[in-house]
Copies of this chain bind each other. A is one copy, B any other.
Amino acid sequence: MPLFSRFKHCSNCGSPVDYRVPPDDNRERAMCPACGMVHYQNPLNVVGTLPVWEADGRVLLCRRAIEPRHGLWTLPAGFMELGETTAEGALRETQEEAGADIAMGPLFTLLNVVRVGQVHLFYLATLRSLQFDPGPESLEAQLFAEAEIPWEEIAFQTTRETLRCFFDDRRAGRGFGPHAIDIA
């Protein structure tokens, strides 16, 4: 999983880097005194879905088989990769973590998690079958009605907020999102 570890050496030539403000910039960056390369570090996107079984309105959660938050429940999501769109990444993560067959819907939540340098994007999705095949990152994949959601065992605040927005929108009978949320 990508984490922000401070650059100590240049990824181009291996020399130790200095932290300085490059010309025409206004922030310190890791700069290589040997080859001149500037190393930027920027926020990452986490992309996922909120899969719904439309016949009865239940939603799909996965129980995590990995750290962090082993054993807790989450919407299928993970780091966006090079070579894919946000929606393609969300679909891939849903297949990898839940083995679920879904039709992608629109963007539903955009959550900024500044503390860890992440932007989480969740798409609505409809399940096309009730067969799941959780991958190695999930202990199980299971459908939950609103009253059955294990709120005390949700792994991440971005999952909790996305579920909350979905049930609020549905109860209010209004359109579904999109919602922009900043996580403190």
Q: What is the total number of copies of this protein in its complex?
A: 2
Which chain B residue lies CB-closest to A17? B11
Residue in B2, B37, B86, B182 whose beta carbon sits within 8 Å of that of A119 in the complex: B86
Contact call B12/A82, Cβ cutoff below 8 A:
no
A136 at the interface (CB under 8 A from B): yes
A15-61: which have CB < 8 Å to B?
Answer: 15-16, 24, 27, 30, 37, 39-45
Contact call B2/A8, Cβ cutoff below 8 A:
no
Contact call B9/A14, Cβ cutoff below 8 A:
yes
A117 at the interface (CB under 8 A from B): yes
Q: Which residues of B contact A81 (CB under 8 A)?
A: 27, 42-43
Instruction: Known pairs A7-B11, A8-B14; list 11 more (Cβ under 8 Å).
Output: A2-B40, A10-B14, A14-B15, A24-B136, A41-B82, A42-B79, A42-B81, A43-B80, A43-B82, A85-B112, A85-B114
A interface vs B, CB < 8 Å?
A: 1-2, 4-5, 7-16, 24, 27, 30, 37, 39-45, 66, 79-87, 106-107, 110, 112, 114, 117, 119, 136, 178, 180, 182
Closest 6 CB pairs of A and B: A9-B14, A85-B112, A2-B40, A14-B14, A7-B11, A82-B117
